[in-house]
A and B are shown apart, each in its own frame.
Chain A
Amino acid sequence: QKEVEQNSGPLSVPEGAIASLNCTYSDRGSQSFFWYRQYSGKSPELIMFIYSNGDKEDGRFTAQLNKASQYVSLLIRDSQPSDSATYLCAVQGGNNRLAFGKGNQVVVIP
């Protein structure tokens, strides 16, 4: 079992809609969870982090964490063409190591 799994294929959403991304992790002791956005040819950029169960909102982004189910999600509301990118889920385990999922490509269609 991979440490961090993002199983959904490319996600196409119309402009203004909600994009929903999911991530599961295997290390039950993980404490910190991150979502990164990566534009093609660029390095990852942190957009959200969450440590506690429940929801965390920042602008158009909402991260949701359920430690019992080992599940993290990201919602992007009012999707814009500039949100078109690959979104990487990352989980921090022991020794401050970050393990990344393979990412989900989001395409926002104008």
Chain B
Amino acid sequence: SAVISQKPSRDICQRGTSLTIQCQVDSQVTMMFWYRQQPGQSLTLIATANQGSEATYESGFVIDKFPISRPNLTFSTLTVSNMSPEDSSIYLCSVEGAGGRGGYTFGSGTRLTVV
């Protein structure tokens, strides 16, 4: 399965600032997925990032708040903009497994605390 390097692993940010999270995959993948996991909760899909087109956002998530870049088939970034304490979560990127049916691999996650 793909190996994903995600950074930063954690950060503490001031209210009103922005943080960009990076994910690098060791192989080319068509789609990359960005999830949020709030404390004690399960994973919620934020958006799907395709190379060469705009990301597709899930209900409740908007591009102005969570802009995504996908410049090539191995890299993506998620920015959390104008942060508030409610954005404190773990953010995870994910890619589909080999053959499209092998499940999904996750990055190590970014633990974000907004103060």
Contacts and interface: CB of A to CB of B under 8 A. Distances in A.
Contacts of B114: none
Contacts of B33: 97-98
B60 interface: no
Nearest to B30: A96
Given A43-B92, A46-B97, A98 B104 contact: yes
B103 A34 contact: yes
A102 B42 contact: yes
A32 B43 CA distance: 17
Interface in A24-77: 32, 34, 42-46, 49, 51
Contacts of B42: 88, 100-103
Given A43-B107, A98-B33, A32 B45 contact: no
B102 A95 contact: no
Contact of B106 (A44, A97, A101): A44
Given A98-B33, A98-B45, A100-B43, A43 B108 contact: yes
A28 B1 CA distance: 28
A58 to B, nearest CB: 12
A27 B7 CA distance: 34
Nearest to B33: A98
Nearest to A6: B42
A100 B35 CA distance: 11
Contacts of A44: 43, 92, 106
A16 B105 CA distance: 29
A102 B102 CA distance: 22
B41 interface: yes
B104 to A, nearest CB: 6
B87 interface: no
Contacts of A46: 1, 97, 102-105
